[in-house]
Structure 1
Amino acid sequence: MVIFVRLRTSKDKWTISRRALNASLLISFITLGVADAFLGPALAHLTNRWGVALADGGILFTMLFSGSCLAVLATSKLLDRLGLQMALGISSLLLAVGLIGMAFAPTLGIAIIVSLVLGLGVGGLAVALNLLTAALYPATPNVALNMVNVLFGAGALIAPLLVGATNGIPSGFEVATFALGVVALLTTLGFTLLPLPGQYTQGAEVVQAPALRTLLRDRYVFILTITFFLYVGAEVGFGGWAYSFATSGAHLDVGGATLIVDAFWLSFTLGRIGASLVARFITARTMVIGGAALAAGGGLVVALFNFSPVLLFIGAVLVGVGCAPVFPTSFALATMYRSDWAASASSIGVLGGTLGAAILPFIQGQVLAYWGVAAGASFTVLLLLTIVGLQLGGRPAPLQAPTH
């Protein structure tokens, strides 16, 4: 009997490693989505466990945001000095420590420190995972980034369901959060041990990151940063105030208002799936402009017809579908503009988005409180139309032609 043995070549080993790396990437995106969204639904449980007022627990959001901002600022330097693999490993480890720490934090004081660590992991991975995606799929980064960000959205949708499912089960939330931290530890091993593609392989030439002033003086990088700032502020603001639009405008009850919010986030998730399918046939810049314009149209429907439950629902769906491709596609544009600036430009862009999420929804809330639903929804329209104007007037990045 003759036994045929197929020896594994280096190409075979890379194929196996790539599959494992893809698995780590996809799992990490889901974990990141859950980690980024679970704190709000879990806050009542956590503050009750610590015996403190719910309002006092709000400091955890501040620390999470602060950690995320610090991580995004540091990621560019970390990538420059240590490379993407180390940035992925450190960020994933911080996420794991933050999740496990939140599961067992005995006091609010300890949880404040843990929340900062969790924010560092969230912010670092927000940049590093998207960069890894672009590196794994250099021919079609726009398609890949839209698809993997669907998983982030899925994780964000899972978070409140996970908290709700463990409600009333003794130590249920703690066990679930600990398990999520263990998953993050496993992906940390994957990112640390598996070889990365292309310019991120060991021994590849290290490119010195440009100074922040140099980046922001570049007109296109500046436009992308402002785009991130405006877009994330518009997305978070509309998603956060949609419930108030429904109750104050159409005077819907709790169930009806919740349906409007769910319609926005569900259409947002489905929109990213659709964007990943059409991204092969239109340019990335066109997708950003078209998405922002569609979302602005939906916001205008809400502003003009917020008294109608049906039109309010339609407007929320249009905003969700339109917003869906803007972030991942803008990230793709940042990586395609200049390969030697990819890490730095995308880090600055994500930082802009983080600041937009912190500042613009607050301003929108003040507009809503003083001038009503029409003005509050018009604020979203203004942000999105500004993105359209910036992209139409900005210099398009190279390599943005569609790939068939």
Structure 2
Amino acid sequence: MATTTTTETLHSTDGIILQALPPKAVLKGSNDSERPFANAPILEPARSSNDPSPPEDAFEAKVKWNSPPINKYRVLSTFWSFFVLGMNDGSYGFESYYNLTYTVVSLIFLSPFAGYTMAALANSAIHIRFGQRGVGIIAPLFRLIPYLVITFHPPYPVLVVMYILVGFGNGIVDAAWCAWIGNMANSHEVSGVLQACYALGATVAPLITTAISSHSRGGWWTFYYIMVSVSALELGAGTTTFWTQTGAVYLSENPHQKAGEKATSGRTREALKSKLTWFFSLFIFLYVGTEVSIGGWIVVFMTKVRNASTFAGSATATGFWGGMTVGRLVLGFVTSRIGGFRAMLLYLGLAIAIELVFWLVPNMVVTAVASALLGMILGPIFPTAVVLMTTVLPRSLHISAIGFATAIGGSGSAALPFAVGAIAQAKGVKTLQPIILACCVVMLIVWLFLQRHRPKDKEVGVNLAVFKRLRERAKEMLN
């Protein structure tokens, strides 16, 4: 939230001009929560109003998920929004009703990507004009209205258009809430829970649709009555919790790095000029494509290559998504302890090792266990990448850059599974594993490049000084 601060100019006996900063000013190395004079103003040499740069020894005091208190309800609202997002991605089930070819049906999977692309271009403008309040209102409406239309099971071309609108709403919340939580304290843990809510929604939706169809309680469109309800709840939660977060508040909290708060354009263009935006987008493209390829083709792989039953194949897929949910909930705490960049190298290395076991050990039980472990290791990669984007890019570019990266990720979720299917059609489903392995290796290569651009200051994470002292002591003992 934006805060209003006032300063008072004072004069010391030596004639040095001082200014009394608010009690909340924080200096590197300070621990004001343990000091008896934490509420006393901090005196610093006054700086010119034309000099926007902060003191060299100052750092940004980030908001927490529970401070200020309203943030608790805002974070819960974003969790619910991502749960709805996950339910949307697991809610397709109308192929037989329209009696169309696979090629025509595939349009419904490409239309959300068109919406994501539109959102990537509009994200920055929405934040500048309407702030997070606008996100809390516009995004749920772009879900609620299309879902309401779908409940009337309209002609298929109308369905395609409705999912373009849904993709637009999804693209807005994906960029907005990932960027907001990525700038919080304990961002790795909170982002992990946010993404776990998405995985949980994607897991719950097929169970609901299966229950509806198995009990003959209506057609496939019955599920969208539920989607209308959850989107209406999302609209109410987002509107009430983010009502005070206007466009003016957003500009004050995210001033342009060069032009200050008054700059209301050019952020998307500047984000696209940064090579880091493109490399992060390539990384997200590969990750999302890998994740969706495994989840979409693992049942076929298990039944055709490992000779498993349909039930065992489905159970393996459930294990993969369940492992991903657990990984996002648990491994965020590991990431925050060892540091995001180091953790990413660890996760990618383990993913390559587990994928080799997945591929080379022709045992159904080993494959099922490897699938769950692979899902758990891949789980924290996306939230970790988003959080690290917020550390290497200027804050004013976060919305535009993350929005663009998620749109590229949407194309990966369509392009890579399609490529896997085309290759499997020609060479067999056994080609799934070498393709996934190649994607993991390329992700590691891309991340090694991004590793070179990590912040120059000490990375947040485990303090390695204790290991340095142990090494020095061992040398002394040897000498």
Question: Is the Cα contact below 8 Å between 1:210 and 1:341 reproduced in 2?
Answer: no
Q: 1:196 to 1:296 in 2, by over 3 A?
A: farther
CA contact (8 A) 2:290 2:439 kept: yes
Q: Which residue of 2 aligns with 1:28?
A: 81
SS where residue 301 of structure 1 aligns? helix
Pair 21,216 (structure 1): closer, same or farther in 2 beyond 3 Å: closer
Contact (CA 8 Å) 1:297, 1:319: kept in 2 or not?
no
* Equivalence for 1:5: none
Q: Give the C-alpha shift of residue 204 in structure 1.
A: 4.2
CA distance in 1, matches of 2:406, 2:292: 14
Matched, 1:88 2:145: no
Deviation at 1:117, TM superposition (A): 1.6
Look up the equivalent residue of 1:90 and give its one-letter code. I
Worse overlay, 361-370 or 25-34: 361-370
User: What per-residue deviation string (whole Å, max 9, x for no partner) do you get for residues 275-329 of structure 1?
Assistant: 1222320211222222222222222222222x32122123312321221011111
Match for 1:78: what amino acid? I
Q: How far apart, in 2, do the equivalents of 1:158 and 1:117 lie?
A: 23
Partner deviation per Cα, 1:123-167 (whole Å, 9 max, x = no partner): 2222122223235xx222122111111111000000101101212
**Mean alpha-carbon deviation: is it higher for 181-190 or for 281-290?**
181-190
Distance 1:212 1:16 in 2: 32
One-letter amino acid matched to 1:178: Y
Instruction: Note if contact 1:229-1:352 (Cα within 8 Å) is conserved in structure 2.
Output: yes
Instruction: Answer yes or no: is the 8 Å Cα contact 2:171–2:403 preserved in 1.
Output: no
Q: Is the 8 A contact 1:282 1:402 kept in 2?
A: yes
2:199 pairs with 1:153? yes
1:304/1:374 contact within 8 Å kept:
no
Q: Which amino acid aligns with 2:227?
A: L
Distance 1:197 1:18, change over 3 A: farther
- How many residue pairs get aligned? The number is 383
In 2, Cα distance between equivalents of 1:14 and 1:397:
28
Report how far residue 390 of structure 1 moved.
Answer: 1.8
Gaps of 5+ in 2: 1-65, 257-262, 464-479
Distance 1:388 1:249, change over 3 A: same
| CA distance in structure 1 between the partners assigned to 2:248 and 2:460 by the alignment | 27
Counterparts of 1:248-267 in structure 2 under 5 Å? 248-267=304-323
Match runs of 1:3-402 below 5 Å: 15=68, 17-39=70-92, 42-44=93-95, 47-48=96-97, 52-53=99-100, 55=102, 56-135=104-183, 138-167=184-213, 168-171=215-218, 174=221, 176-195=223-242, 202=249, 204-205=251-252, 206-207=255-256, 208=263, 210=266, 214-305=270-361, 307-337=362-392, 338-394=394-450, 395-398=452-455, 400-402=459-461
Q: Name which of structure 1's ranges 199-208 and 22-31 shifts more when overlaid on structure 2.
A: 199-208
Indicate how the Cα distance of structure 1 residues 197 and 367 shifts in structure 2: closer, same or farther if over 3 A, else same. Answer: farther
2: CA distance between counterparts of 1:65 and 1:189? 26
1:204-239 deviations in Å (ceiling 9; x for gaps): 425346555643443333321111111111111111
- Mapped to 2, the partners of 1:199 and 1:330 lie a distance apart of 28
Assess if the C-alpha contact under 8 Å between 2:172 and 2:403 holds in 1: no
Cα separation, 2, equivalents of 1:393 and 1:112: 38
Cα 1:260–1:171 change in 2 (3 A) is closer
Quick one: distance in 2 between partners of 1:401 and 1:298? 28
What amino acid sits opposite 1:254 in the alignment? T
Q: What is the one-letter code of the residue matched to 2:381? A: V
Q: Check conservation: 1:291, 1:321, Cα contact below 8 A.
A: no
| Secondary structure of the corresponding residue to residue 337 of structure 2 | coil
Quick one: distance in 2 between partners of 1:330 and 1:261?
24
Quickly say closer, same or farther: Cα 1:327–1:53, change in 2 above 3 A. Answer: same
Q: Distance in 2 between matches of 1:321 and 1:197?
A: 37
Kindly state the Cα deviation for residue 244 of structure 1 after the two structures are TM-superposed.
2.3
Are the counterparts in 2 of residues 302 and 374 from structure 1 also a CA contact under 8 Å?
no
Instruction: Report SS of the residue matched to 1:202.
Output: helix
Q: TM-score, normalised by structure 1?
A: 0.85
Moved more, 151-160 or 339-348: 339-348
1:94 deviates by: 0.5
Residues 396/203 of structure 1: CA separation in 2 closer, same or farther (3 Å cut): closer
Change (3 A) 1:249 1:184: same
Aligned-pair Cα RMSD in Å? 2.8
Shift, 1:403, TM fit: 7.9
The separation in 2 between residues aligned to 1:367 and 1:261, in whole angstroms, is 21
Quick one: distance in 2 between partners of 1:392 and 1:14? 35
Compare 102-111 and 268-277 and name the one that shifted more: 102-111
- Distance in 1 separating the partners of 2:230 and 2:390: 28
- Select between 187-196 and 63-72 the one with higher mean Cα deviation: 187-196
Larger-gyration structure (1/2)? 2
TM-score, length basis structure 2: 0.73
- The answer on whether the counterparts of 1:96 and 1:184 sit within 8 Å (CA) in structure 2 is yes
Change in 2 beyond 3 A, CA 1:197/1:176: same
Amino acid in the other structure paired with 2:387:
A
Partner SS, residue 252 of structure 1: coil
3-state DSSP of counterpart to 2:135: helix
